[in-house]
Amino acid sequence: MTATILDGTKVAKRADQVFQETVQELKQHQIIPGLAVILVGDNPASAVYVRNKQRRAEKIGLNYQLFHLPVTVSQDELLELIQRLNQDPQVDGLMVQMPLPAQIDAMVVMNTIAPEKDVDGFSIANVGRLWSGMFGNFPGTPRGIMRLLHEYQVPIAGQHAVVIGRSDIVGKPMAALLLRENATVTIAHSHTRDLRSLTRQADILVVAVGQAGLISGADIKPGAVVVDVGMNRNEAGKLVGDIDFPSVAQVAKMVTPVPGGVGPMTITGLLEQVVTLAQRRVEQND
């Protein structure tokens, strides 16, 4: 068996076309979806992430604003900017790029962002909405993965989904979104006993731990759908995921590559959320 590739790059491009059309429709209502991003300091990885978001946001026609603050900024100064953007009616989505410098409490920052503009979905309010089955803003990576699964018509209801990793950014919200679509969900982590016995039962396996080659073809159920969220550098400096792709591709029915799988879909999940919030603004105006 050779797995079908879940091509996040292709799906992201198709999604961008849909978003562009929606933005044009919104402009007929005198509304341009707005995304404000706050970047603190000069972390190279953060700068790359922000640049990628900006490129795609501007491509689909969003009103994108970047606020680049010095690494020495105080927490009060950052919170003051967040409060100002909370009150700006032209800003539909607001996010603060992580990580933040030591003098700033990330939890305070996340919960200062108005829940309705918190497109990262990190605030306590949105976490509660996620697990309560309510409408809310949810983290971009899990949201993008769900869109990818839908695009490839992967059955979810009734399937056994195993999520390896319990981070607040990927693992936990991924499990919640799968549960919302009636999967039977198991969360595995560093204290899980006999991990392989679980992974071999999974119809859908999501691996998000940041450990290259953790899962091989021998660890999965034949015909499983495998989603690799890992982003690691091997000894040769090549970007690889958390699975051994060649062996997994011989056993799985579908698998995401690294790069080109989940990565592009993370930004898709973010942009989809901003566009959806702008659509709700139209509905409220009507």
Residues annotated as catalytic (active site), given as ranges:
53, 97, 120
Domain limit, last residue, from 62, 80, 114 = 114
Known binding site for NADP(+): residues?
165-167
If asked whether residues 145 and 240 sit together in one domain, one would say yes
User: pLDDT tens digits, residue range 186-224?
Assistant: 999 999 999 999 999 999 999 999 999 999 999 999 999
> What span, in angstroms and rounded, lies between the C-alpha atoms of 79 and 76?
5
Residue 286 pLDDT exceeds 70: no
Structural domain that includes position 237: 140-263
Please indicate, yes or no, if residue 270 is contained in any of the structural domains: no
Known binding site: residues?
165-167
Please indicate, yes or no, if residue 133 is contained in any of the structural domains: no
Please indicate, yes or no, if residue 121 is contained in any of the structural domains: no
Helix (H) or strand (E) holding 65: strand 63-69
Secondary structure tally for the chain: helices H, strands E: 10, 11
Cα dist from 109 to 25, 46, 175, whole Å = 33, 17, 25
**pLDDT on residue 281:** 86
**pLDDT on residue 237:** 85
Amino acid occupying residue 205: L
If asked whether residues 245 and 202 sit together in one domain, one would say yes
Number of domain units in the chain: 2
Contact at 8 Å (CB) between 215 and 242? yes
Residue 1 pLDDT exceeds 70: no
Please indicate, yes or no, if residue 134 is contained in any of the structural domains: no
**154 φ/ψ angles, rounded to the nearest 5 degrees:** -75, 120
User: pLDDT tens digits, residue range 153-194?
Assistant: 999 999 999 999 999 999 999 999 999 999 999 999 999 999
Confidence of residue 282 (pLDDT cuts 50, 70, 90): confident
Please indicate, yes or no, if residue 205 is contained in any of the structural domains: yes
